[in-house]
Structure 1
Amino acid sequence: MISPWAVLAGGAAAAGLALLIAELRPAPPDLGQALERLHRAPADRREEAADAEERWYDRLGARSLGWAGARLPTRSLALIGRTPARFMAHKLLFALIGLVLPAYLSAMAEIAGFGLPVALPALLGLGLAAGGWLLPDAIVQSEAREARTEYLHGIAAYLELVALERAADHGPAEAMRRAAAVGRGTVFRRIRDALERAATDRQPPWDGLEALAAELGLTALQDVADIMRLSGTDGAAVYDTLRARSKGLRDELLAAELAEAGTTSEQMVAPGAALTLLMTVLIVYPALYQMLHAF
């Protein structure tokens, strides 16, 4: 007969797994947040707790923003499009899983008849909770590095498009808007949002790009704003400047990719050498065994 405690534990594990999958599944876009981006300053944080339609874990994360020791990677979160409240909710969730998991496994072992010391799951739970608290930081930084590379590629393309629009004799502001309307990726969407926000606030479009560059921490986007400000205020011809900055940015990205490829190749040396040594041992061992046991 199956123990009811085992059934209860299995149901709790299944519920936790379902909750984790629901959390990791991409959520549909929020129309309210999309409209909010048109009427807020880029550097301002969203007041997540004030939204009545937020999910419960977002509200919990928003309440934990003021905790001592909660260091928020604001620019990295802005790059990947994640709110500080959702980031704190992830930290709390992973820490809770790390804290509860050893106790759950210890209870399962106790039901199965394998008793464990009480101190072992307690100490292990504290260690896993600390690791779970720090794990979202590493995940966010890794995703932010990939997003930063994507943004730089998009900015290089945007520079080329703005240069072509200026060569077609469009004004600086019109060239920036027309170039941003061409792309369909995340980078161009954020640029369009920044330009629309600046137009709504009756500001020059390069001020919107400058605010977006400060929010994301991208100097390349700041360079675009500075170049177009020079063209808009002084009437300077910036076609060659835009093309040169785009070429320089592409060269930087190519150099970074080559360096990463070289590092990856160096990391493959040790596994290749170990595989070669293993194959050599497998080939030599039978012959060596026959030689030693021939007499």
Structure 2
Amino acid sequence: MISPWAVLAGGAAAAGVAVLVAELRPAPPDLGQALDRLHRAPADHRSDGDQRLPWYDRLGESGLRLPGARIPHQQLALINRTPARFMAHKLLFALIGLLLPGYVVAVATLVGSELPVAVPLLAGPLLALLGWLVPDAIVAGEAKEAKTEYLHGIAAYLELVALERAADCGPAEALRRAAAVGRGTVFRRIRDALERAATDRLPPWDGLETLAEELGLTPLQDVADIMRLSGTDGAAVYDTLRARAKGLRGELLAEDLARANTDSERMVAPGTLLTLLMTSLIVFPALYQMLNVT
């Protein structure tokens, strides 16, 4: 007969997993954060809206003051995630890793199996450290994919800006009209940067430069430099924009080819093993008959 305590423990574990999945699921867009991107206040002046943040974001805000906490700001900016949410994930994963061995020992005790008390004492800190590092690996992987998407979008943006300049649009107008064409994340961030620069009465290339520094994207910085040269000196930049877009597409193609070659090399060992297995299956019956002939 199954112990009711074991059933309760299993239900609690399932509820914890469900809550964790619900918290890690991407949240719907926040209108407040969208407005903050256009009207950023100094970091020293916190508004009362911070008090209405979810509990995990408030937990992450307090965790940002921990000594030795390393925040990958550029990677978080690429995936549009706040440092508070990132730190909240680190703290929650570390807490789960710390408590998981004790929970396993408690469940084993309830079902009648004895586990050494040293298990949670030794495995708990190790799993907590592993859980602390898991969000870093997740963010790094997501940021790598997002950076590739951004670079493809910037290559398209370069072509669009060049076409607008060829249509006799001014440098500032060419940047705005080219950004209004796309509907992806890259073009949305560029539009936000241009609108923020217009709100602050700054040239649009200054907004692109700020966005390039925030995201750590050199090609976007190149766009800002090229258009600044066109806006201040009146230089013809059509050929320069097309050449930069061509070079960026070449870099992306080279990375795709390198990734494809790496994947092909990884398939050599499984393919060889499969070939040996098929050969063994084909040869074994005949070899068995030869060895057992009387």
Q: Hey, what's the Cα distance between the residues in 2 that align with 1:50 and 1:115?
A: 50
- TM-score normalised per structure 1: 0.95
Q: Hey, what's the Cα distance between the residues in 1 that align with 2:100 and 2:174?
A: 56
Q: Hey, what's the Cα distance between the residues in 2 that align with 1:236 and 1:118?
A: 74
Q: Hey, what's the Cα distance between the residues in 1 that align with 2:132 and 2:48?
A: 21
* Cα distance change of structure 1 residues 145 and 47 upon mapping to structure 2, 3 Å threshold: farther
Matched, 1:96 2:95: yes
Amino acid at match of 2:266: Q
Q: Hey, what's the Cα distance between the residues in 2 that align with 1:190 and 1:239?
A: 23
Q: Deviations over 1:227-266 (max 9, x none)?
A: 0000000000100000000000000000000000000000
Amino acid at match of 1:36: D
Q: Hey, what's the Cα distance between the residues in 2 that align with 1:277 and 1:264?
A: 21
**Quick check: 2:194–2:207 contact (8 Å CA) kept in 1?**
yes
Q: Hey, what's the Cα distance between the residues in 2 that align with 1:48 and 1:255?
A: 47
Amino acid at match of 1:281: S
- Residue matched to 2:204: 205
- Residue matched to 1:143: 142
- Residue matched to 1:66: 65
Query: 5 Å matches for 1:236-275?
Result: 236-275=235-274
Matched, 1:153 2:152: yes
1:269: how far off? 0.4
Instruction: Indicate the SS of the match to 1:51.
Output: helix
- Residue matched to 1:26: 26
Q: Hey, what's the Cα distance between the residues in 2 that align with 1:91 and 1:201?
A: 36
* Cα distance change of structure 1 residues 282 and 48 upon mapping to structure 2, 3 Å threshold: farther
Instruction: Indicate the SS of the match to 1:184.
Output: coil
1:178: how far off? 0.3
1:45: how far off? 9.8
Matched, 1:223 2:204: no
Equivalences, count: 294
The alignment yields a C-alpha RMSD, in angstroms, of 1.8
Q: Hey, what's the Cα distance between the residues in 2 that align with 1:278 and 1:53?
A: 61
Q: Deviations over 1:107-132 (max 9, x none)?
A: 22222222111112321222111111
- Residue matched to 2:125: 126
Matched, 1:3 2:3: yes
1:177: how far off? 0.3
Instruction: Indicate the SS of the match to 1:66.
Output: coil
Q: Hey, what's the Cα distance between the residues in 2 that align with 1:111 and 1:22?
A: 29
- Residue matched to 2:76: 77
1:202: how far off? 0.2
**Quick check: 2:205–2:227 contact (8 Å CA) kept in 1?**
yes
The worse-fitting range, judged by mean Cα deviation, of 162-171 and 1-10 is 1-10
1:47: how far off? 5.8
- Residue matched to 1:15: 15
The worse-fitting range, judged by mean Cα deviation, of 205-214 and 118-127 is 118-127
Gaps of 5+ in 1: none
- TM-score normalised per structure 2: 0.96
Q: Hey, what's the Cα distance between the residues in 1 that align with 2:119 and 2:10?
A: 22
Amino acid at match of 2:223: V
Instruction: Indicate the SS of the match to 1:113.
Output: coil
1:44: how far off? 6.2
1:8: how far off? 2.6
Gaps of 5+ in 2: none
1:48: how far off? 9.3
Instruction: Indicate the SS of the match to 1:166.
Output: helix
